[in-house]
Amino acid sequence: MITSKYIRMRMITALLLLLSGCASTNLTGNAEYLKPPVQAFYATNRNHAGQQAESGQKYGAERSMMSYGIADVAIPQDHRIGRVIHATFDKEKHREINYLQLTELNREELLNNLTKTVAASEEKALLLYVHGFNMTFNEGARGIGQIVSDLDFKGSSLFFSWPSRGHVNSYEDDEAGILWAEKDLVTVLEEVALRSGSKTIYLMGHSLGARGLSRALLELLGKKPQLKTYFKALILTAPDINADVFKNEIGPALAKTGVRVTLYVSGKDRALTLSERVHGVRRLGNANGKPIIIPGIETVDATNINTGFFGHSYHSDSRSVLSDIYYILKKDLRADERFSLKAIDTASGRYWIFKD
């Protein structure tokens, strides 16, 4: 007899195999093929991997005190926007995006360096990114490097790396990990608001990272509402969040803060379709025929564009989505002002799709 526990475990296994598409390998690029590296600051509550480290992994998957530093991320000369290369042969290694080196800093050194970098940047802005499920620290570094390069972002960047286990069979552990990490993420958000020198801070979270980031921002602004003026936009891509909780609680609370919130969702997100079956409730990032619409929040449905086989990482591997995010960060355009989008009006409100 097949038990409900057995069925649930099979569903979790399938979900994890799909979500493994969030990850990539980490190889060292050949300098002659690389552009000048992207410099990204980092804050992480992962442990120092030490002797237990996998190849090239300075930080592990266990919970720890905060660590800080700078990651120099190598971008190949022939890199194309929205294209992520996973090398199969040694001769292709130079085509991958990887970090070249890490420079560890203490908290004060990070904040001082961040302030100087923001002040010296062309846009005087800061982009803070939180990665999703099944990501090692190295993969988080690669992710922010690609996003900064593809968006031609001229401000400073920082990624928050929480203790994801970086394995396909650790989804439930990762859910617990991002919940545990929220308190440190709240502190990081407060410190960059007060110490970075930037009054234009963009926030971006993917998958489980979107869950932690939205909750952390609400907690911070609930305690210190005066800080909301520092946060220009919150971008949630493929958010793995209970849709009912977001619609009734998180979303309306975010809309009241005045921070511009954009949701990117898709009806072809295989990972979130399975996540929905596992949890027994709809996920926010799953358009499911019609996306969730919350007054004061702009929802962009990416179902009608090519989002890859898994349909879960389109924030980094879809040129259409990256281009749309570009106009949020670079041109400060609302959804109705972005040429690539078409408005869809429903009884519940307006959302947008990509034009054919």
pLDDT band at 85 (very low <50, low <70, confident <90, very high): very low
Q: Read off the pLDDT of residues 228-237 as tens digits, 9 standing for 90 and up.
A: 999 999 999 9
> What is the overall mean pLDDT for the chain?
85
Q: Read off the pLDDT of residues 11-31 as tens digits, 9 standing for 90 and up.
A: 555 555 554 445 443 434 454
Strands of the sheet containing 260-265, edge to edge, are 98-105, 59-74, 38-48, 156-161, 126-130, 201-206, 231-237, 260-265, 297-301, 349-354, 341-346
Span 342-346, average pLDDT: 96
pLDDT of residue 35: 61
Answer yes or no: is pLDDT of 287 > 70. yes
